């Protein structure tokens, strides 16, 4: 199947399909990559440069050179991406998507294991567990080793425990290292986890089932331990194409290396957009690709069709600040006409920052004709958007949270508010039921029984309801499995009660976070540290109030307004999203809020000293903007951090030449 590529401008298509004029359809950089000679190819496709177009035309070009569809393997990270590319190929060539091997790593792994899994002891009729089934099986495996493990409230529940083991498997790091790097809240039990992982693996083998991660692990094992099968795939797939290569984890990179032993591989990606290490992506995969594939030819696609020259000059400045030798050099070049420079805005606090963004959005929509759908507010962490959500809600501006549910609808936020609501008003049985059923083996009926016993005791003894909970009479109604938690639960509620009566609402919120509910979260959520940060955002919000009644009423009113609105999918709405969720998207106007030290990057990153992924995330944020980019930060923090109350602009702004942006000053009347 070797062939020479003479890169003519026009190539004949398959029988009955008009020839494709590759030269006319592609710019110089894309054309060079699409028509490159077979071999190891690394295509560095900058933001907005037409990555998908390049991959699509590469497939079409190979077909025009006589390569059969079944000899091309296209690996992507979503089925949507694979379908989109292969349908574009069909539009170009007339060849149906079903004739290719194209899809996610996991779907192709499943297909390979169905064919050859028996070579490594996996029956062809194996079944794949969904997330809930995987967690159930893991729970059974853990309890076969330690029956009491899940009874300790700070130990991870099956879901978070699965997340720990999954990340260790995908990164091929030890469980101990994985815990140290990503799940420090489980440091004290790290030595117990390998035995659980072994019991889980044994249980899966006995049941002839796999989980999602096995589709990669066992596929790699198949390619590693069975030379005949490895040879079959290496011979079958004469060309391996990989989309978003910078997002590959350790196993995925090894799979690609083995499938492309013939080195006819094209990896397309952008090292500057590697932002998923917390999910297992390994930055080193793209950086060391040329080392693992000798003779790699690097193609740079740097012409950007998305953003104005001013936005791209700003983005290039972000890239230029990267340490030398730790990235591929690239410079985005604009295809569009000039526009305005990015604007940097210092606000007094979160509230004023939100007011500025709201006023500018209103002007964009009402005076400049910009669609609400084309306006995005980006942020590093959910809690940074709290005031923004409140401002938009008060103004009646429709908005959509594209990175999850609205702040006050997030489960842990609702739980904490329920704690506060119940302590403030023990007659609130809805709040009681929400927090009581978080205790082990306490359902709605059990919660009602405990509540009734406490109510009777409080009336009989003329006692405060919260104090009545801690009495022996009430404790006798608590299920056996919940009894170890009960004293801490009651003591925590009492501490919140004391804080409500003696201190500010913000102090009561902080006490609630630090008490029993904080311990509960350690076991319930793998992303415990992130969720705690979000809850601490409530401390700053609560500091605006002097009375607990005002604070709770405001939350309920705002939450009710946002929850009761029916989402009209045809209605235009402003997009609020984390930067991670915005990757791959673009908007006419982008507001990046919270661009301050301690917020982006956060204090944990500052303490660790590892800023490079955060810098890449900053780059991803600014390259979402097509026409206008605004970066804002509060001067006064909503709550004190390690640096006190006063905030500085993010280092990612400070390291840029100040002629790359304009500084806008907010008048106290919110003019600028």
Segment 474-488, tens digit of pLDDT: 999 999 989 989 999
Residue 428 has pLDDT above 80, yes or no: yes
Q: What share of the chain is helix, strand, coil (3-state, %, to 5)?
A: 55, 15, 30
Residue 7 has pLDDT above 60, yes or no: no
**Same structural domain for residues 112 and 31?**
yes
pLDDT score of 643: 63
Domain C-terminal end among 524, 557, 590:
557
Does residue 5 form part of some domain?
Answer: no
Mean of the per-residue pLDDT values of the chain: 90
Main-chain phi, psi angles of 281, to 5 degrees:
-60, 140
Instruction: State the average pLDDT over residues 129-148.
Output: 94
pLDDT score of 670: 47
Write the DSSP string, 580-616. Answer: HHHTT--EEEEEE---BTBBTTBHHHHHHT--HHHHH
Instruction: State the average pLDDT over residues 251-259.
Output: 96
**Same structural domain for residues 356 and 385?**
yes
**Same structural domain for residues 416 and 535?**
yes
Domain C-terminal end among 274, 301, 328:
301
Residue 5 has pLDDT above 70, yes or no: no
* Residue 615 token pair: 């810098």
d(CA 279, CA 250): 11
Containing H/E element for 625? strand 625-634
Write the DSSP string, 134-183. Answer: HHHHHHHHHHHH-TTGGGSTTSPPHHHHHHHHHHHHHHT--HHHHHHHH-
* Pair 520, 490: CB distance under 8 Å: no
pLDDT score of 6: 39
* Residue 582 token pair: 């915005």
Main-chain phi, psi angles of 355, to 5 degrees:
-65, -40
Residue 238 has pLDDT above 90, yes or no: yes
d(CA 496, CA 512): 6
Main-chain phi, psi angles of 43, to 5 degrees:
-100, 110
Give 17's DSSP letter.
S
pLDDT score of 533: 85
Kindly indicate the confidence band of residue 566, based on its pLDDT and cuts at 50, 70 and 90: very low
pLDDT in tens, 439-496: 988 998 999 999 999 999 888 888 889 999 999 989 999 999 899 899 999 999 999 9
Largest separation between any pair of C-alpha atoms in the chain: 94
Residue carrying structure tokens 């590959």 = 248
d(CA 338, CA 13): 39
Domain C-terminal end among 557, 586, 607:
557
pLDDT score of 606: 85
- Residue 638 vs residue 518, higher pLDDT: 518
pLDDT in tens, 613-646: 999 999 999 999 999 999 999 999 877 666 668 9
Q: How far is CA 56 from the centre of its chain?
A: 27
**Same structural domain for residues 426 and 525?**
yes
Write the DSSP string, 318-356. Answer: HHHTSPTTSS-----EE-SPP-PPPEEEEESSHHHHHHH
**CATH of residue 314:** 3.40.50.300
Kindly indicate the confidence band of residue 255, based on its pLDDT and cuts at 50, 70 and 90: very high
Containing H/E element for 386? helix 386-395
What distances in angstroms separate CA 314 from CA 241, 325, 671, one per listed residue? 32, 21, 25
**Same structural domain for residues 487 and 358?**
no
d(CA 443, CA 323): 55
- Residue 125 vs residue 338, higher pLDDT: 338
CB count within 10 Å of CB 236 equals: 12
Does residue 468 form part of some domain?
Answer: yes
Containing H/E element for 574? strand 574-578
**Same structural domain for residues 417 and 521?**
yes
d(CA 467, CA 460): 13
* Pair 342, 311: CB distance under 8 Å: yes
pTM: 0.88
Does residue 14 form part of some domain?
Answer: no
Does residue 562 form part of some domain?
Answer: no
**Same structural domain for residues 424 and 546?**
yes
> Among residues of the chain, what percentage have pLDDT more than 90?
72
* Pair 417, 408: CB distance under 8 Å: yes
pLDDT score of 559: 66
Q: Which residues of 10-43 are buried (b: 16+ CB within 10 A; e: fewer)?
A: ebebeeeeeebebbeebbebbbbbbbbebebbbb
Residues in the annotated binding site for ATP? 45-52
* Pair 251, 217: CB distance under 8 Å: yes
Does residue 123 form part of some domain?
Answer: no
Q: What is the C-alpha R_g of the chain?
A: 28
pLDDT in tens, 93-122: 999 988 989 999 999 999 999 999 999 999
Q: What angle do CA 166, 171, 172 make, to 5 degrees?
A: 95
Give 503's DSSP letter.
S
d(CA 506, CA 39): 61
Four-CA torsion 123, 125, 128, 133, nearest 10 degrees = -100
**Same structural domain for residues 103 and 199?**
no
Kindly indicate the confidence band of residue 560, based on its pLDDT and cuts at 50, 70 and 90: low
**CATH of residue 535:** 1.10.486.10
Residue 669 has pLDDT above 60, yes or no: no
Does residue 604 form part of some domain?
Answer: yes
Question: Hey, is 300 helix, strand or coil?
Answer: strand
Q: How far is CA 147 from the centre of its chain?
A: 33
The verdict on whether omega for the bond into residue 601 sits within 30 degrees of 0, i.e. cis, is yes
**Same structural domain for residues 528 and 650?**
no
Specify the number of domains making up the chain.
4
pLDDT in tens, 312-369: 999 999 999 999 888 999 899 999 999 999 999 999 999 999 999 999 999 999 999 9
pLDDT score of 10: 57
pLDDT score of 503: 84
Q: β-strands 265-269, 41-45: how paired?
A: parallel
Does residue 672 form part of some domain?
Answer: no
**Same structural domain for residues 238 and 89?**
yes
Residues in the annotated binding site? 45-52
Residue 382 has pLDDT above 90, yes or no: no
Kindly indicate the confidence band of residue 652, based on its pLDDT and cuts at 50, 70 and 90: very high
pLDDT score of 314: 98
**Same structural domain for residues 415 and 542?**
yes
CB count within 10 Å of CB 519 equals: 17
Owning domain of residue 167: 130-207
pLDDT score of 641: 66
**Same structural domain for residues 418 and 553?**
yes
d(CA 125, CA 114): 8
Does residue 53 form part of some domain?
Answer: yes
Q: What angle do CA 471, 476, 480 make, to 5 degrees?
A: 125
State the helix-helix crossing angle for 193-207 and 175-182, rounded to 10 degrees: 120
pLDDT score of 556: 76
d(CA 628, CA 307): 9
Kindly indicate the confidence band of residue 581, based on its pLDDT and cuts at 50, 70 and 90: very high
- Residue 61 vs residue 154, higher pLDDT: 61
* Residue 624 token pair: 């979402």
What distances in angstroms separate CA 597 from CA 100, 577, 651, one per listed residue? 48, 20, 7
């Amino acid at each position: 199947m070797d062939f020479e590529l003479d890169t003519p401008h026009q190539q004949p298509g398959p029988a009955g399909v008009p020839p494709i004029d590759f030269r006319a359809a592609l710019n110089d950089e894309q054309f060079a990559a699409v028509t490159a000679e077979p071999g190891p190819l690394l295509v560095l496709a900058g933001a907005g440069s037409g990555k998908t177009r390049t991959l699509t035309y590469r497939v079409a070009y190979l077909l025009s050179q006589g390569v059969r569809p079944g000899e091309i393997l296209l690996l992507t990270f979503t089925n949507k991406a694979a379908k989109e590319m292969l349908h574009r190929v069909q539009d170009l060539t007339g060849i149906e998507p079903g004739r290719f091997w194209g899809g996610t790593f996991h779907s192709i792994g499943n297909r390979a294991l169905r064919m050859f899994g028996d070579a490594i002891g996996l029956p062809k009729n194996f079944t794949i567990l969904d997330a809930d089934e995987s967690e159930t099986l893991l729970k059974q495996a853990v309890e076969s080793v330690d029956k009491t493990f899940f009874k300790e409230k700070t130990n991870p529940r099956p879901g978070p425990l699965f997340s720990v083991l999954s990340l260790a498997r995908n990164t091929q790091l030890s469980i101990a290292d994985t815990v140290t790097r990503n799940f420090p809240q489980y440091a004290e039990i790290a030595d117990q986890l390998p035995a659980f992982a072994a019991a889980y693996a044994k249980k899966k083998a006995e049941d002839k089932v796999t989980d999602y991660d096995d589709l990669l692990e066992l596929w790699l094992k198949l390619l590693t331990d069975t030379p005949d099968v490895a040879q079959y795939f290496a011979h079958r797939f004469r060309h391996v194409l990989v989309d978003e290569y910078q997002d590959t984890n350790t196993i995925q990179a090894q799979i690609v290396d083995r499938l492309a032993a013939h080195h006819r591989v094209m990896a397309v990606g952008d090292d500057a957009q590697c932002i998923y290490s917390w999910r297992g992506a390994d930055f080193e995969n793209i950086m060391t690709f040329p080392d693992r594939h000798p003779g790699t030819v690097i193609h740079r696609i740097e012409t950007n069709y998305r953003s104005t020259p001013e936005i791209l000059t700003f983005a290039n400045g972000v890239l230029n600040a990267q340490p030398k030798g730790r990235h591929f050099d690239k410079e985005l070049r604009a295809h569009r006409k000039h526009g305005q420079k990015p604007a940097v805005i210092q606000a007094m606090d979160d509230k004023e920052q939100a007011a500025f963004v709201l006023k500018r959005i209103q002007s964009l929509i009402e005076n400049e004709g910009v669609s609400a759908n084309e306006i995005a507010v980006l942020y590093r962490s959910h809690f940074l958007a709290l005031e923004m959500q409140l401002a938009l809600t008060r103004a009646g501006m429709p908005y959509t949270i594209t990175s999850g549910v609205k702040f006050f609808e997030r489960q842990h936020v609702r739980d904490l508010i329920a704690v506060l609501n119940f302590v403030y008003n023990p007659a609130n049985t809805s709040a009681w039921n929400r927090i009581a059923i978080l205790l082990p083996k306490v359902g709605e009926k059990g919660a009602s029984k405990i509540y009734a016993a406490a109510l009777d005791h409080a009336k009989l003894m003329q006692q405060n309801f919260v104090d009545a909970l801690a009495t022996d009479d009430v404790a006798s109604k608590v299920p056996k499995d919940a009894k170890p938690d009960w004293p801490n639960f009651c003591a925590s509620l009492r501490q919140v009660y004391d804080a409500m009566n003696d201190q500010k609402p913000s102090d009561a919120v902080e006490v609630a976070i630090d008490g029993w509910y904080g311990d509960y979260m350690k076991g319930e959520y793998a992303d415990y540290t992130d969720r705690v940060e979000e809850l601490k955002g409530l401390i700053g919000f609560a500091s605006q109030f002097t009375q607990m009644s005002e604070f709770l009423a405001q939350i309920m009113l705002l939450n009710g307004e946002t929850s009761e609105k029916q989402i009209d999918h045809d209605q235009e709405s402003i997009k609020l999203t984390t930067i991670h969720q915005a990757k791959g998207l673009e908007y006419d106007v982008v507001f990046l809020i919270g661009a301050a030290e301690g917020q982006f990057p956060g204090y944990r990153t500052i303490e660790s000293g590892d800023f490079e992924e955060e810098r890449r995330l900053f780059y991803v944020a600014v390259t979402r903007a097509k026409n206008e980019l605004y970066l804002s930060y509060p001067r006064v923090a909503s709550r004190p951090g390690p640096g006190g109350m006063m905030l500085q602009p993010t280092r990612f702004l400070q390291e840029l030449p100040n002629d790359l942006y304009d500084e806008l000053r907010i008048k106290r009347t919110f003019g600028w």
